[in-house]
A and B are shown apart, each in its own frame.
Chain A
């Protein structure tokens, strides 16, 4: 609508502009002022019409007042300003040329009606909004209550359905609520449980910190704690639990309740105890086993100053025979009876008996006076075995060997103590058994070395810890090197180079001598081939030969001939380059079976030497029967010739042996030649070859090269 300047429309708009400018600052509308003016313009038009209407329409004026509320002019100041504006400008801009007094009167009535309409609308709006917000608050609370109810129902379900026991108590310890699982654990009714106070649940087995933790929690100094705890059930049995107690605080953080969660561990605990018993006791005899014994021994050895320990290590004599002849069941019954008797020997505090396995038992005594006690203990054990044991109507005489170790705590490890006891027991056994021996450090050391070497032997062969030294064999006639004796050595990682006397008996004992001997044979023959390849026939005495020792064990080994043949063929060395040395003692009383392999080898061209000749009691007549081509005189014959003049009797004996040997077509080699005089004497006596320090000590193969070359050129 285009307003004619200063026409009624233009004047109406000017009124609306003034009105909106007056009221806008006190409205809370988000409209701009011009937009707000557009909102007021229709209201201004209505006011203008009411002003000039024939009759006064109070209702219409009230509606305009109410419309202000709809335009968000809710501040009473908006009404004041509106009325001021109407009062001052409505007649002026919208009265046109009407009678001023009537218009002013009409304006006043309009203002009253607008005020009433505004107030009415504001009241209604306020009430409606109050109603709306109250409803919203109620609904929100309903939603929260519903959610709370759902969450509480869920919590209830968790509480009731939980497999672990749950209980809530106040900070004084009064039990307020318990769940089904907890009831089932304790037995009895909810009523009896709820009438209790937590403090009544002390138990003799409570860990020392249990109630300190409780006090800290109820004082609010601790949020939770976890303990293993026992409870007495009403029926007198014990309930074991894993217990976690937590402090519950209110919204302001003040401690309010304690919440206990407990898991029934009674069964598990019993099972653990049984497993522990089974793990530490021998199933047959019920005695403590090796594990428990070691625990106790460890404890005894870790005891403080002034504390000592005494240990008897018992092994039954001849138990294997009983087991083999009467059967395992009889053997087991015997062990049970022995166990019972031993048990009665060690009843004092600090004493214990254990079965280590098989027929091995130990008795331990601890304290300050074990020096005396341990001997008494050993005596009691020996006495306990004196009475025969009746098994299946037989009276079996049981004897045992005891190794005793006694000493102060804090010096040795359990393993060291037990090893010493074991060694000592074996000493008692090898002294005939049915006795006790007291441990002795020197005897221990010897046994320990022997024991250590024995166990290290197999690995030593695998690891290549053995090597061979060669001692030249020299022809007494022309001084030329004819060959060498192979002597095996062990380069032990701890003990250094060991001679054969240290380990060959052990190797024979364990059977390792067979692979070891085979290795020596192979290595030596390979060396012989090397010499031959290098020097051919150039050495003065012809091709170099190799002497290898055979142990009695190897002699009886069925693979001897085949192994030797294989090695010779493989290396391409002819049999006559090899001489096998066998000790005289190994052939004493040898029958044909034993001699057969030697004979086979001799037929192939291998020389057989009779080593250490003269130390045994050889039947000289027997020499004919043996497939031997060389006698090696024991060094004891040559020892006396180191002085000059030599003992004439010795000379005669050697001369006799040489004559005898030669008459049987045997060559004679002498060992242990240490001086030139000796060598000369032996040459005169007719010996063929010699070895000894006079020529060379055993050494690496290269040394022999040098010696041989010296001979060849010199």
Chain B
């Protein structure tokens, strides 16, 4: 018999969580030993993993500032994970004190923690929902309260789509979200790829296998496959590029070689 829809999944902190692993990469302590163990295993194959995460955070920061500069005051961050520092609401509200931010994650612990962090911030909230069910996100009370879909929105899908398998139709989910957004909205996206990793693919695969073992497979996609997520949107200069090349504020050549793994891009709704 199938589990009824209204019966929630129980949470098991003895199972590693990708958001807590991410926190560990970023030097945080919002994690448990199982998370650290998985992170250390992955880092044994790819020691530069934390640099990739850091580059993601840096790109996100630049992209949010770009969006704010373009006049966007609403942000929807799906796959927000454990808020550590330099979060979207901090960056956005620095530019526009009234900027509104909704975080979305399906990890109940990440959501509970975000809830605590955001307490008292009336312009930011968090939704427990899944990218694979975009309609649940769009019709959530938090989105309805904070986001006006008739105005441009910055939709952030940073380091999340590589956790959605093709069988779960990530393209369909993203299309549904794109279609819900008003003209002028931005799609901010990063995605893991074998392209750009300064290691032989066999070694990178070792790290990918770790994620498979923790039942959160990492789906590496090619640049072309990643570009398809922007279908119908115009690419903002310089297009889909390695993270350090996206509107750098310091010399890319100073960056760690691992920072060039995968791709980042921003698209704009016509």
> A and B, one complex?
yes
Return chain B residues, CB-CB under 8 Å to A249. 1
At the interface, yes or no: B171 with Cβ under 8 Å from chain A? no
Q: How large is the interface on B (under 10, 10 to 19, 20 to 34, 35 or more residues)?
A: 35 or more
Contact B85 A136 (CB under 8 A): no
In Å, the complex CA distance between A144 and B112 comes to 11
Task: Given A130-B29, A136-B112, A144-B8, check contact A34 B86 (CB 8 Å).
Answer: no
Return chain A residues, CB-CB under 8 Å to B30. 129-130, 132-133, 136
**Count of chain A residues near B, Cβ 8 A:** 36
Return chain B residues, CB-CB under 8 Å to A72. 26-27, 85
Q: Which of A91-99, A147-155, A454-462, A685-693 contacts B (4 or more CB under 8 A)?
A: A147-155
Q: Which residues in chain A, 152-190, are within 8 Å of chain B measured between CB atoms?
A: 154-155
Return chain B residues, CB-CB under 8 Å to A136. 30, 109-110, 112-113, 115-116
At the interface, yes or no: B7 with Cβ under 8 Å from chain A? yes
Contact A28 B26 (CB under 8 A): yes
Q: Is the interface of B mostly helix, strand, loop or mixed?
A: loop
Select one of A25, A30, A140 contacting B85, CB under 8 A.
A30
Return chain B residues, CB-CB under 8 Å to A125. 29
Return chain A residues, CB-CB under 8 Å to B31. 133
Mark A665-687 against chain B: 1 for CB-CB distance below 8 A, else 0. Answer: 00000000000000000000000
At the interface, yes or no: A80 with Cβ under 8 Å from chain B? no
Task: Given A28-B26, A133-B20, check contact A248 B1 (CB 8 Å).
Answer: yes
Contact B11 A28 (CB under 8 A): no
Give, as a whole number of angstroms, the nearest-CB distance from B113 to chain A.
4
In Å, the complex CA distance between A135 and B30 comes to 10
Which A-chain residue is minimally distant from B9 (CB atoms)? A144
Contact B108 A140 (CB under 8 A): yes
Return chain A residues, CB-CB under 8 Å to B50. 28
In Å, the complex CA distance between A29 and B26 comes to 8
At the interface, yes or no: B38 with Cβ under 8 Å from chain A? no
At the interface, yes or no: B10 with Cβ under 8 Å from chain A? yes
Return chain B residues, CB-CB under 8 Å to A563. none
Mark A22-40 against chain B: 1 for CB-CB distance below 8 A, else 0. Answer: 0001011111111100000
At the interface, yes or no: A368 with Cβ under 8 Å from chain B? no
Give, as a whole number of angstroms, the nearest-CB distance from A38 to chain B.
12
In Å, the complex CA distance between A25 and B250 comes to 14
Which B-chain residue is minimally distant from A150 (CB atoms)? B6
At the interface, yes or no: B249 with Cβ under 8 Å from chain A? yes
Give, as a whole number of angstroms, the nearest-CB distance from A253 to chain B.
12
Return chain A residues, CB-CB under 8 Å to B82. 133
In Å, the complex CA distance between A249 and B53 comes to 40
In Å, the complex CA distance between A586 and B14 comes to 114
Return chain A residues, CB-CB under 8 Å to B85. 29-30, 72
Return chain A residues, CB-CB under 8 Å to B28. 74, 129
Contact A33 B250 (CB under 8 A): yes
At the interface, yes or no: A139 with Cβ under 8 Å from chain B? yes
Return chain A residues, CB-CB under 8 Å to B109. 133, 136-137, 140
Contact A132 B250 (CB under 8 A): no
Give, as a whole number of angstroms, the nearest-CB distance from A148 to chain B.
7
Contact A154 B112 (CB under 8 A): no
Q: Which residues of A contact B (CB under 8 A)?
A: 25, 27-35, 72, 74-75, 125-126, 129-130, 132-133, 135-137, 139-141, 143-144, 147-148, 151, 154-155, 246, 248-249, 259
Some 6 contacts from A to B, beta carbons below 8 A apart, are: A32-B249, A133-B20, A140-B108, A140-B112, A143-B112, A151-B7
Q: Which residues of B contact A (CB under 8 A)?
A: 1, 4, 6-11, 13, 20, 25-32, 50, 53-54, 57-58, 60-61, 82, 85-86, 108-113, 115-116, 249-250, 254, 256
Q: Which 10 A-B pairs have the closest CB atoms?
A: A136-B113, A140-B108, A129-B29, A30-B57, A136-B112, A30-B86, A74-B27, A139-B112, A140-B112, A32-B250
